[in-house]
Structure 1
Amino acid sequence: MSLLRVHDLKAAYGSVPALFGVDLELAAGEVLALMGRNGMGKSTTVKAICRMIPSQGGLQFAGHDLHALPSYKVARLGIGLVPEGRRCFKDLTVQENLVAAARSGPWDLKGVDDLFPRLGERRHQRAASLSGGEQQMLAIGRALMTNPQLLILDEATEGLAPIVRQEIWAAINRIKTETGMAILLIDKSLRELSAVSDRATILARGHTVWTGKMTELTPEITHEYVGV
């Protein structure tokens, strides 16, 4: 049974249509890569799932109709978002950022520190004083502190130094293997996506154009829909 099911999803920014029919499914414990070139609707799909923009179509999570819920109730239902651009509370400390989002469950300050030791070392620093990579770690830790059933990462390695990207991918792999949490990933790195994802869904111009196992993703498909 699907944890998340999106069917014929349509959305717009004001009078400008952005999604014309997105379909995707994600089972509990599965990692799904949401792929496509820039501007094809990936982040818009995430915003629709999290109820940040209005949309139409089928949108169900854990048996609930997300269309009936405001965004804060979607988060409480068990969807943790690591948004594009990090969006940490820069005037709060690392610990305050993490505690502000905390809900009861296995993920706590100790668990986040174990995943990202740098955050433990900088617990009392303001988020504004952190490097870009450390802020990204904080954004992931903050989402984990909500103890979600589904973790959504929107371009979590974008703009980071290679060594920091490696740390982020290692953390994502740990989350997958050690917790069995469902993960929806948006990223440009096909190699890393292929290593951690079970399946992929590809979007083009606001439509789902391909879905299948990562092992079925051929060079021809990636060239047509993903490559520059």
Structure 2
Amino acid sequence: MTGPAAARPARSRTAPALSIEGLTVGYGGIPAVRDLHAQVGPGEILALLGPNGAGKTTTLLASVGALPILSGTITALGEPVDRRVERNARRGVTLVPDSRGVFHRLPVEDNLRLARRKNSPALDDVLDYFPKLRPLRGRRCGTLSGGEQQMLALAKALLCAPKVLLIDELSLGLSPLAVEELLPRLREIADDQHMAVVLVEQHIGLALSIADSAVVLHHGRAALTGSAAELRERRDRVEAAYFGNLGNAAEGPAEN
């Protein structure tokens, strides 16, 4: 397994799996995200950071076609994302919402069965990433811990054979130990499956330890962007951007 902040081989630059260009999107015609630019390639993880209300979830919803775009473009797997959410999902753009999207009254086994598709990978291969779920397959999902439910949510997503995986608040409500287990596992999945991942996360240090790049959003705008390696070295700038005080931080290598 690849550990946090472990050295990773340089990736050859290929066409991005997800490209966001000049995105302005919101609700009822009122922008919540303005002029956002970001991209993530196959096998890469992009961390979206920022306080509550910064526009992170809005960006994910637009990326799967769940919100109308006011201006700009989102391209996934070589095609523009449109409002047909199911079509985008069939093409391989999968969202794990902050609610986790699991059926609490059903056993783990049934949750997994309902997620399977014709092109799903073998269930045993998926559970290799989450071995703690194997003895829990007969247990009702509502009796699982938060970490176990999040493992199930990720396993269900992998059964959809995603090429672009978007995850909203992976660590929400989880213990620090669960977070420290799940985030490196996500790095392993991205590497093994050559999967593009966009991760919304509140744990800045852990997110940067597994990501390749990051965008810090504040009030719907990109306050800071850069490689995760650069941003790990300049946590003062990351925290300043997070709270909208970037002008008070010393200059560093990352661009805003």
**TM-score between both structures, scaled by the size of structure 1:** 0.91
2:107 alignment partner in structure 1: 93
1:122 alignment partner in structure 2: 136
Distance 1:174 1:215 in 2: 18
The 5 A counterparts of 1:184-223 are 184-217=198-231, 218-223=234-239
The 5 A counterparts of 1:72-221 are 72-105=86-119, 107-217=121-231, 218-221=234-237
Say whether the 8 Å CA contact 2:224–2:238 is kept in structure 1: no
Distance 2:99 2:64 in 1: 16
Report the alpha carbon displacement of residue 106 of structure 1 after superposing the two structures with TM.
6.6
Say whether the 8 Å CA contact 2:64–2:89 is kept in structure 1: yes
Name the structure, 1 or 2, with higher relative contact order (CA <8 Å, separation 6+).
Answer: 1
Say whether the 8 Å CA contact 1:99–1:145 is kept in structure 2: no
- Higher mean Cα deviation, 206-215 or 24-33? 206-215
Say whether the 8 Å CA contact 2:104–2:142 is kept in structure 1: yes
Distance 1:215 1:131 in 2: 32
Flag the 1:11–1:72 CA change in 2: closer, same or farther, 3 A: same
Residue 64 of structure 1 pairs with residue 79 of structure 2 = yes
* Equivalent residue letter for 1:224: A
- Higher mean Cα deviation, 12-21 or 58-67? 12-21
Deviation digits for residues 115-151 of structure 1, max 9, x if unmatched? Answer: 1122211112222222222111111111111011111
Distance 2:157 2:235 in 1: 33
Distance 1:150 1:95 in 2: 25
Say whether the 8 Å CA contact 1:104–1:146 is kept in structure 2: no
Secondary structure of 1:24's aligned partner: strand
Distance 2:29 2:45 in 1: 33
Distance 2:42 2:118 in 1: 20
* Equivalent residue letter for 1:75: A
Report the alpha carbon displacement of residue 81 of structure 1 after superposing the two structures with TM.
1.5
Following TM superposition, where does structure 1 have runs of at least 4 consecutive aligned residues deviating by more than 6 angstroms?
A: none
Gaps of 5+ in 2: 1-14, 245-256
Secondary structure of 2:186's aligned partner: helix
Say whether the 8 Å CA contact 1:35–1:201 is kept in structure 2: yes
1:225 alignment partner in structure 2: 241
- Higher mean Cα deviation, 13-22 or 136-145? 13-22
The Cα RMSD (Å) is 1.8
Gaps of 5+ in 1: none
Aligned length: 227
Distance 1:105 1:178 in 2: 17
Residue 13 of structure 1 pairs with residue 20 of structure 2 = no
Distance 2:235 2:129 in 1: 34
2:12 alignment partner in structure 1: none
* Equivalent residue letter for 2:121: W
* Equivalent residue letter for 1:66: V
